[in-house]
C-alpha cells in the first residue's frame, strides 16, 4: 500500500466516490427512460438469448439500524402477500413482451429479506418465474438469506425451486458491535444456517461482512473474520459501512462517535484482507474474496469478471431485468429503474404497465467510459488495443487520456502503449481513478465514503 500520507493527499479520506455498480451511476438517471422505452428494449432482446433476472422483496421482519437498503419492516404477511401478487402480475406482463426462447442465466432474489416469504409464497413466485423462462444450463439461482429469518420448510421450498447459491448476511460477530448497529445474530445461528444450507445441497455460499462499524478494532475484526473463515464460505463481500443517516434515517440510532476514522477504516480493511488472503482466498476486485474454485475467481483468471447492481459477477448475460419496486434493469441500450416506492410500483403494475420511473439511455461516449470504469473496478487495468478495437479510438487518443489521469494521481499509475494499470500499492484509490473517467461526476452526488 502507498503511504497513508500520499493516499490522503490524493484524496482517499475526504472524497466521496461511488462504488460504480453502473455507469452512469443511479443518481444520474433521469425520467428520459419510461415504460414505453423499456417495452421496446425488452422487445429487442434477441430470441433464444440468455438473460438474468433480479427480484426485489422490500420487506424485513426487523429493521437493522445500520442498513441502508430500501426496505420496510412488517410483522404481518398481508402487505407481503399483496406485493407477491403484483410481482406475479409483473412477471406475466414481462412474459407478454419477452421474445421467444429466452432462458435464465442467473436469478437473484434480494431485498430486504426474501427469506421472510412463506414456503407457499416461495413456490408461487418460483412458479411464475419458471412460466416466464426456464433456467439455462449451468444457471445460478441465488437468494439473500437472513440467518434469523429462515427455517427448514422455507429452505426446502427454496431448494425445490432450484436455489443453488445463498448469500448470508453476517456484518460482524462481535456482541458489542451487533448491539450498537441494531443487528443481533449469534455465531451459532449463522453457523447452524450455514450447515443447514449445505445439508440441503446448497454448496455455494457467500457471506457479507462490514468494516468501519462502531467500536470495530483490529482485534475485533480479526476475531470476526476468523469466525467467518471457520464456516468456509466460497465467497465473501467485505463492504465498507456506508454511514448515510440523511438517506437512511435509522442509522441515526448508531453511536456515530464510536465510528472509526477514515485511516482506521483503511487499517480495518487491510487487517481483514490479509486474513482472507492468508487463508487461501483470491482477492476479487476492490472488496470481494473468493476460493480459487469459486466462479468469481475463475472469471477473474479468465478476464471474465463483470460488475452489475449486485456487485461483482461472473454472469456474461447482457440483459439483466429487475422485477419489483426500485429494481434496476440493464439493457444494451441503457438502464431503467422501477418506481422506488412500493405503492407507486404496485399501482403501475395493477394498471397493466411497467413502473419505470427513471433511467439512462446510452449516448455519446457513455459506453466507452462504462467499459473503462468496469475494467478498472474488475481488473485494475484497461487495455488500449481492446478499447481501440471495440470503439474505433486511436491508441494516441487513449494514451493522452490515460496520461492526463495519471498526472492527477502523481504518476502512481502505470501507463504504457498497452494501457493503464493500477499497481497493487495504489489499489485503495481504484474508485477514485474510476471517477476520473466519470463525465457525470460532481460533488452533489458523492454520497458514500471512498473506503
Ligand atoms: C440488502 S441486505 C440483505 C441482507 C439480508 N436481509 C440480511 O439481513 O442478511 C444485503 C447487504 O447489504 C449490506 N449493507 C446494508 N447496509 C449497508 C451499509 N449501510 N453499508 C454497507 N453495506 C450495507 C449488508 O452487508 C447486507 O448484508
Ligand atoms: S440488513 Fe437485511 S434484515 Fe436488516 S434491515 Fe437490511 S435488509 Fe432488512
Mean pLDDT estimate for the chain: 94
- CA nearest 229: which of 169, 161, 281, 306? 281
Task: Answer left, alpha or beta for residue 20, where phi above 0 means left and psi between -120 and 50 means alpha.
Answer: left
With cut-offs at 50, 70 and 90, classify the pLDDT of residue 451. very low
Q: Is the CB of 69 under 6 A from ligand 2?
A: yes
With cut-offs at 50, 70 and 90, classify the pLDDT of residue 271. very high
Give the Cα separation of 322 and 107 in Å (integer).
10
Give the Cα separation of 72 and 54 in Å (integer).
18
Report pLDDT for 123.
98
Report pLDDT for 446.
41
Question: Quick check: 413 and 428 in contact, CB under 8 A?
Answer: no
Q: Is the CB of 68 under 6 A from ligand 1?
A: yes
Residue 357 has pLDDT above 60, yes or no: yes
Question: Quick check: 184 and 174 in contact, CB under 8 A?
Answer: no
Report pLDDT for 2.
64
The verdict on pTM exceeding 0.85 is yes
Residue 448 has pLDDT above 50, yes or no: no
Give the Cα separation of 438 and 360 in Å (integer).
15
Which protein residue's CA is at the shortest distance from atom 1 of ligand 2?
67
Report pLDDT for 272.
98
From residue 232, give the alpha-carbon distance in Å to each of 122, 134, 239: 27, 31, 18
Q: Is the CB of 63 under 6 A from ligand 2?
A: yes
Q: Is the CB of 67 under 6 A from ligand 1?
A: yes
Q: Is the CB of 239 under 6 A from ligand 1?
A: yes
Residue 15 has pLDDT above 70, yes or no: no
Phi/psi for 381 (5° steps) reads -155, 155
Question: Quick check: 84 and 48 in contact, CB under 8 A?
Answer: no
Give me the mean pLDDT over the 116-122 stretch.
98
Distance of CA 88 from the midpoint of ligand 1 (Å): 26
**pLDDT tens for each residue of 187-201:** 999 999 999 999 999
Phi/psi for 211 (5° steps) reads -115, 155
With cut-offs at 50, 70 and 90, classify the pLDDT of residue 58. very high
Give me the mean pLDDT over the 322-336 stretch.
98
Residue 273 sits at the vertex; the CA angle it makes with 202 and 21, to the nearest 5 degrees, is 70
Question: Quick check: 321 and 56 in contact, CB under 8 A?
Answer: no
Q: Is the CB of 169 under 6 A from ligand 1?
A: yes
With cut-offs at 50, 70 and 90, classify the pLDDT of residue 106. very high
Q: Is the CB of 113 under 6 A from ligand 2?
A: yes
HEC states along the chain? CCCHHHHHHCCCCCCECCCCCCCCCHHHCECCCCHHHHHHHHHCCCCCCEEEEEEEECEECCCCCCCCCCCEECCCCHHHHHHHHHHHHHHHHHHHHCCCCCEEEEEEEEECCHHHCCHHHHHHHHHHHHHHCCEEEEEEEEEEECCCCCCHHHHHHHHHCCCCEEEEEEECCCHHHHHHCCCCCCHHHHHHHHHHHHHCCCCEEEEEEEECCCCCCHHHHHHHHHHHHHCCCCEEEEEECCCCCCCCHHHHHCCHHHCCCHHHHHHHHHHHHHHHHHCCCEEECCCEEECCCCHHHHHHHCCCCEEECCEEECCCCCCEEEECCCCEEEECCEEEEECCCHHHHHHHHHCCCCCEEEEEECCCCHHHHHHHHHHHHHHCEEEHHHHHHHHCCCHHHHHHHHHHHHHHCCCCCEEECCEEECCHHHHHHHHHHHHCCCCCCCHHHCCCECC
Residue 214 has pLDDT above 50, yes or no: yes
**pLDDT tens for each residue of 362-384:** 999 999 999 999 999 999 999 99
Report pLDDT for 1.
58
**pLDDT tens for each residue of 284-297:** 999 999 999 999 99
Atom of ligand 1 nearest to the CA of 210: 25
Which of 70, 169, 205, 447 to mutate to test ligand 1, by most ligand atoms within 8 A of the CB atom?
Answer: 169
Residue 282 has pLDDT above 50, yes or no: yes
Distance of CA 424 from the midpoint of ligand 1 (Å): 27
**pLDDT tens for each residue of 34-43:** 999 999 999 9
With cut-offs at 50, 70 and 90, classify the pLDDT of residue 443. very low
Residue 159 has pLDDT above 80, yes or no: yes
Residue 129 has pLDDT above 80, yes or no: yes
Q: Which ligand is nearest to the CA of 183?
A: 2
Which protein residue's CA is at the shortest distance from atom 4 of ligand 2?
64
Atom of ligand 1 nearest to the CA of 251: 19
Which of 66, 71, 239 to mutate to test ligand 1, by most ligand atoms within 8 A of the CB atom?
Answer: 239
With cut-offs at 50, 70 and 90, classify the pLDDT of residue 445. very low
With cut-offs at 50, 70 and 90, classify the pLDDT of residue 17. confident
Amino acid at each position: 500500500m502507498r503511504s497513508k500520507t500520499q493516499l490522503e493527499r490524493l484524496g482517499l479520506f475526504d472524497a466521496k466516490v461511488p462504488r460504480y455498480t453502473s455507469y452512469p451511476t443511479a443518481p444520474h438517471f433521469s425520467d428520459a427512460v419510461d415504460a414505453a422505452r423499456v417495452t421496446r428494449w425488452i422487445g429487442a432482446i434477441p430470441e433464444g438469448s440468455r438473460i438474468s433476472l433480479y427480484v426485489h422483496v422490500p420487506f424485513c421482519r426487523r429493521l437493522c439500524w445500520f442498513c441502508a437498503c430500501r426496505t420496510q419492516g412488517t410483522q404481518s404477511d398481508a402487505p407481503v402477500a399483496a406485493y407477491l401478487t403484483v410481482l406475479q402480475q409483473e412477471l406475466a406482463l414481462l412474459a407478454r413482451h419477452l421474445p421467444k426462447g429466452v432462458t435464465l442465466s442467473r436469478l437473484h432474489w434480494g431485498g430486504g429479506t426474501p427469506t421472510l416469504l412463506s414456503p407457499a409464497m416461495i413456490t408461487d413466485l418460483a412458479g411464475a418465474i419458471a412460466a416466464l423462462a426456464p433456467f439455462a444450463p449451468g444457471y445460478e439461482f441465488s437468494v439473500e438469506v437472513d440467518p434469523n429469518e429462515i427455517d427448514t420448510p422455507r429452505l426446502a421450498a427454496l431448494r425445490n425451486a432450484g436455489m443453488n447459491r445463498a448469500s448470508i448476511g453476517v456484518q460482524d460477530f462481535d456482541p458489542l458491535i451487533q448491539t450498537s448497529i441494531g443487528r443481533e445474530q449469534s455465531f451459532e445461528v449463522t453457523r447452524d444456517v450455514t450447515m443447514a444450507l449445505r445439508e440441503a445441497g446448497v454448496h455455494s455460499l457467500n457471506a457479507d461482512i462490514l468494516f468501519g462499524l462502531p467500536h470495530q478494532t483490529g482485534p475485533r475484526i480479526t476475531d470476526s473474520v476468523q469466525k467467518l473463515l471457520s464456516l468456509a464460505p466460497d465467497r465473501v463481500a467485505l463492504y465498507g459501512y456506508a454511514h448515510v443517516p440523511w438517506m437512511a434515517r435509522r442509522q441515526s440510532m448508531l453511536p456515530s462517535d464510536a465510528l472509526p476514522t477514515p485511516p482506521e477504516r483503511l487499517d480495518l480493511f487491510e487487517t481483514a484482507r490479509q486474513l482472507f488472503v492468508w487463508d487461501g482466498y483470491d482477492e476479487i476486485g476492490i472488496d470481494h474474496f473468493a476460493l480459487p474454485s469459486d466462479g468469481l475467481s475463475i472469471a477473474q483468471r479468465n478476464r471474465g469478471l463483470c460488475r452489475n447492481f449486485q456487485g461483482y459477477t461472473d454472469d456474461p448475460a447482457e440483459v439483466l431485468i429487475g422485477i419489483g419496486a426500485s429494481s434496476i434493469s440493464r439493457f444494451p441500450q441503457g438502464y431503467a429503474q422501477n418506481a422506488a416506492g412500493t405503492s407507486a410500483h404496485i399501482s403501475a403494475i395493477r394498471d397493466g404497465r411497467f413502473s419505470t420511473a427513471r433511467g439512462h439511455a446510452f449516448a455519446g461516449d457513455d459506453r466507452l467510459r462504462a467499459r473503462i470504469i468496469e475494467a478498472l473496478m474488475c481488473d485494475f487495468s484497461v487495455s488500449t488495443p481492446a478499447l481501440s478495437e471495440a470503439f474505433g479510438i486511436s491508441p494516441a487518443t487513449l494514451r493522452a487520456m490515460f496520461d492526463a489521469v495519471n498526472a492527477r494521481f502523481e504518476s502512481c499509475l502505470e501507463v504504457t502503449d498497452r494501457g493503464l494499470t493500477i499497481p497493487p500499492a495504489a489499489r485503495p484509490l481504484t474508485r477514485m481513478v474510476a471517477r476520473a473517467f466519470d463525465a457525470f461526476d460532481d460533488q452533489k452526488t458523492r454520497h458514500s465514503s471512498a473506503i
